[in-house]
Structure 1
């Protein structure tokens, strides 16, 4: 399936089942693509419903990966700080 398939459904007002049957593709995939295309077309009204456009989904995914990377960095710095702090403590035991 391509964008052309989604455009055909939107322009011709055909149901996704009809188009999917003609192309021999699963209708569930086409329905999901159509839903996202409609969300992308009506950006302003979808904000109130909590739906994300494709662009917002891509940004959300990028930000999620960035947060994961920052958390890993934080953990490395925390472990390094603990290691260096341990080296600064006086040795216990008998001299």
Structure 2
């Protein structure tokens, strides 16, 4: 079961892991978190600061993509409802203009 950590906790953990003389495994053990989880946070922090690989999505970009995907799903659902309503109200036009697809 995954735990949710605050942005502040993640930021502090990344800061500790990136400090000189420290490594991710050691810091993760001290904080009682997964070393792989902390490695992911460190990797994402580097991407967010512009030090990641070319084309890697920042946290803000990932959040925007998730928002757009949710919005698209909502629009698709509304469209499906409208198509069903149109087919019910105008059954003779079922095949016209994409109604009933």
TM-score when normalising by structure 1: 0.76
Q: List gaps (5 residues or longer) in structure 2.
A: 94-101
Pair member with larger Rg: 1
Matches of 1:86 and 1:27, distance apart in 2: 60
Q: CA deviation at 1:13?
A: 6.1
After TM superposition, the structure 1 = structure 2 runs for residues 55-94 of structure 1, keeping only pairs within 5 Å, are: 55-86=60-91
Matches of 1:36 and 1:72, distance apart in 2: 33
> Which of the numbers 11, 17, 23 marks the counterpart of 2:25?
17
Matches of 2:34 and 2:28, distance apart in 1: 6
Corresponding pairs, count:
85
Matches of 1:19 and 1:40, distance apart in 2: 21
Q: List gaps (5 residues or longer) in structure 1.
A: 89-95
TM-score when normalising by structure 2: 0.72
Q: Secondary structure at the match of 2:90?
A: helix
Structure with the bigger RCO (C-alpha within 8 Å, sep 6+) is 1
